[in-house]
Amino acid sequence: MPELPEVESVRRGIQAWAQGARVDRVRILDPRILGTTSNRLIAPEAPARLTAELTGRELASVERRGKFMWLPLRHCSDDTASGSAGGDAVAEPSPARALSVHLGMSGQFRVHESTDPMHRHTRAILGLERAGRERLELRFVDQRIFGHLGVDDLVDSHGASVPRSVSHIALDPLDPLYDPERTARRIQAKRTGMKSALLDQTVISGIGNIYADEALFAARVHPLAPTQTTRISRIRTVLAKAEAVMRDSLAQGGTSFDALYVHVNGESGYFERSLQVYGRGGLPCNRCETPIVRERFMNRSSHFCPVCQRKP
Q: Which residues are annotated as a binding site for DNA?
A: 121, 144, 190
Q: Tell me which of 9, 108, 183, 201 binds DNA, using CB under 7 A.
A: 201
Quote the CA–CA distance of 25 and 43 in Å, as a whole number.
21
Shortest Å distance, C-beta 304 to DNA: 13
Helix or strand holding residue 122 (H, E): strand 122-130
Render 17-43 in DSSP notation, one character per residue: HHTT-EEEEEEES-GGGGS-SS-----
Catalytic hit among 65, 67, 74, 241:
67
Quote the CA–CA distance of 90 and 278 in Å, as a whole number.
54
- Check binding of 282 to DNA (CB under 7 A): no
Exposed / middle / buried, residue 240 (Cβ in 10 Å: 0-12, 13-18, 19+):
middle
Shortest Å distance, C-beta 275 to DNA: 11
- Category of 142 on φ-ψ map: left (φ > 0), alpha (ψ -120 to 50) or beta: beta
Give catalytic status of residue 214 as yes or no: no
Give catalytic status of residue 2 as yes or no: yes
Give catalytic status of residue 110 as yes or no: no
| β-bridge mates for residue 129, sequence order | 22
Q: Tell me which of 108, 209, 249, 256 binds DNA, using CB under 7 A.
A: 209
Which stretch, 19-27, 64-72, 109-117, 283-291, contacts DNA (CB under 7 A)? 64-72
Q: Tell me which of 5, 95, 173, 193 binds DNA, using CB under 7 A.
A: 193
Quote the CA–CA distance of 106 and 260 in Å, as a whole number.
5
- Check binding of 47 to DNA (CB under 7 A): no
Give catalytic status of residue 300 as yes or no: yes
User: Which residue type sits at 110?
Assistant: R
- Report how far Cα 82 is from the mean position of its chain's Cα atoms: 36
Shortest Å distance, C-beta 302 to DNA: 9
Q: Tell me which of 168, 182, 185, 287 binds DNA, using CB under 7 A.
A: 168
- Check binding of 32 to DNA (CB under 7 A): yes
Q: State how far the alpha carbon of 223 is from the alpha carbons of 5, 235, 288, in Å.
A: 21, 12, 18
Q: Tell me which of 5, 13, 47, 66 binds DNA, using CB under 7 A.
A: 66
- Check binding of 36 to DNA (CB under 7 A): yes
| Binding footprint of DNA on the chain (CB under 7 A) | 1-3, 32, 36-40, 66-68, 102, 104-105, 120-121, 143-146, 165, 168, 190-193, 196, 199, 201, 208-210, 278, 294, 296, 298-301
